[in-house]
A and B are shown apart, each in its own frame.
Chain A
Amino acid sequence: MKCDRCNKAATIHLTEKNKNGDIAALHLCENCAVEAGYMQKTHISVTDMLTNLIEGQSKAAQSDVQACPECGLSWREFKDTGLLGCPGDYDHFSQQLRGVIESAQNGATHHTGKAPAQNESSAANSIRLRESRIAKLRQQLAKAVEKESYEEAARLRDEIATLEKPAR
């Protein structure tokens, strides 16, 4: 459900009696609820925290990135909602998301924990994902070299090397 005042997700739901005694339902996001004086800000919600993080990240002139070819999500849309449109966005916006994820996840960059069982289809799936990721990184590497951003290139080279190591 959307907030009555802006387009964010509504998390505060109120029923109010107006002057004529009619009952009206209000659906607001936390920000608008605070603004309208229905509640006091007591804590920073995860969405707010994320929005702030994204704001910070995108100052580095990243807003010119193209929308995702798979789902059509633009970086601006993500900034507004904090929600990605498809699994492919993790690849497509990998540059922009890197800082967002690191800040939201206390500096973590890699998953450790439960992984899908390596049955045939999911093994094939994960190889496919890895291969497309490597191909993407190679493109980025070529671009970085072209722009003479050697620091970036070295990082990409290391990431490719890690991915190319045979899986344990």
Chain B
Amino acid sequence: MDISDMIEGNGEWLAGSGPRSDIVISSRVRLARNVAGYPFMSKANRAQRNDLHQKCRDKLLELSGEWNLSYVDIDKADEVDRQILVERHLISKQHACGEGSRGAALSPDEGLSVMINEEDHLRLQVLRSGVQLKECWRVADALDTSLQQRLDFSYSPKFGYLTACPTNVGTGMRVSVMMHLPALKITGDIEKIFRAAKDMHLAIRGLFGEGTEAVGDFYQISNQTTLGRSEDEILSEFNDEIIPRLVTAELNARTILEQERPLTLDDRIGRAIGILQNARLLSTEETLFFLSHLRLGVAMKRVAGLDIHTVNLLFLKTQPAHLQRMLGKAVEGDMRKAARAEFIRQNLKPKK
């Protein structure tokens, strides 16, 4: 498949079309599976690694008609292409930067991706815009069941699906929601939310998964435990407790800002627009920071003539690999910052 064709659209995770997608950017369910009869990745030799890769790819391609999957050989892919897949949340940074025989199967709508030979032999991921965890699970479960008719997975009655890292053992399921919580950040209540999340055994990460910081007020919230609770129990906790609580907290913070600190609110939004419309050099971090405030302004209808979809697209297209693919060449340092600022100015022209 041609990855360059992908960069025009928002993909699934930034589509901005799902329920409550003003605050909940996307929902994701990820399953970790390992093929029985093979060691985990860290102890697989080159032959076993190649064998696993081929086996998993063939089985996935057998399902490609029904599931509409395309295959990418990550080891042979161009570096910018790999980064584009990371920026579109289709593969992990670890998978892009890894070594050796590995691949990914993707659906063209970018709602489904399967990584082969990442930390586990298989990582199935279903992404949907907004709050749609149950739908993510329905699809992931169905694909997993189809794969299990073709592959034996390592499983023990006591520990469930066996994974390379014991933090994934059991269901092998990581549920996450990517949330945009700028008002909680401005009011300072985000710290309280973090503490509550820790008490509930949730992990909070930044935009690109483990080890990344929360930039642009995007927070990825996911379950930390995978053993001892069924998939339904984990999903219900997210749908009935975690997501509604966080959404309510953010909405309350927005109301407080609107009623008690409208000047602060409009100042943040106005500064963001001022810089985005006029800056000549913009780094990735700065861009995320200001786009976050712009997005808040659009969601709260304090900015005219812009919609969430357009702002989401700016988030994605100003990422380094997307920018370079659009320009058709590799750019670094100030050249890249200048290209980013130029692209944003083009798309955020002041209204006459």
Contact = CB atoms under 8 A, between A and B. Distances in A.
Interface of A: 1, 9-13, 15, 17, 23, 27, 29-30, 39, 42-43, 45-47, 49-50, 70-73, 81-87, 90, 97, 100-101, 104-117, 119, 121-122, 125-126, 129-130, 133, 163, 167
B154 A87 contact: yes
A105 B155 contact: no
Contact of B164 (A10, A49, A83): A83
A119 B170 CA distance: 20
A126 B154 CA distance: 9
Nearest to B209: A11
B213 A39 contact: yes
Contact of A117 (B43, B148, B227): B148
B42 interface: yes
Given A1-B94, A85-B43, A110-B228, A104 B34 contact: no
A113 B94 contact: no
A70 B144 CA distance: 27
Contacts of B159: 90, 101, 110-111
A15 B83 CA distance: 14
Contacts of B98: 1
Interface stretch (B7-15, B199-207, B264-272, B288-296): B199-207
Given A50-B165, A50-B167, A126 B231 contact: no
Nearest to B222: A46
B43 A105 contact: no
Contact of B40 (A46, A86, A126): A86
B34 A87 contact: yes
B166 A30 contact: no
Interface of B: 34, 36, 38-43, 93-94, 97-99, 119, 141, 144-145, 148-149, 152-162, 164-167, 169-171, 173, 201, 203-205, 210-214, 224-231, 332-333
B97 A112 contact: no
Contacts, number: 167
Contacts of B153: 116
Contacts of B43: 71-73, 85-86
A86 B204 CA distance: 29
Nearest to A82: B165
A87 B141 contact: no
DSSP majority for the B interface?
loop
Nearest to A93: B166
22 contacts: A1-B94, A11-B210, A11-B211, A11-B212, A13-B93, A15-B332, A45-B211, A50-B167, A71-B40, A72-B43, A73-B42, A85-B43, A87-B154, A104-B167, A105-B166, A105-B169, A109-B228, A112-B229, A125-B152, A126-B157, A133-B158, A163-B157
A71 B39 contact: yes
A29 B93 CA distance: 13
Contacts of B212: 11
Contacts of A117: 145, 148-149
Given A11-B211, A83-B164, A113-B229, 15 more contacts: A11-B94, A43-B205, A46-B210, A71-B40, A83-B40, A87-B40, A101-B227, A105-B166, A105-B169, A108-B227, A108-B229, A113-B160, A119-B149, A126-B157, A163-B158
A114 B140 CA distance: 12
Nearest to A88: B39
Contact of B152 (A23, A84, A121, A163): A121
Contacts of A119: 149
Nearest to B232: A113
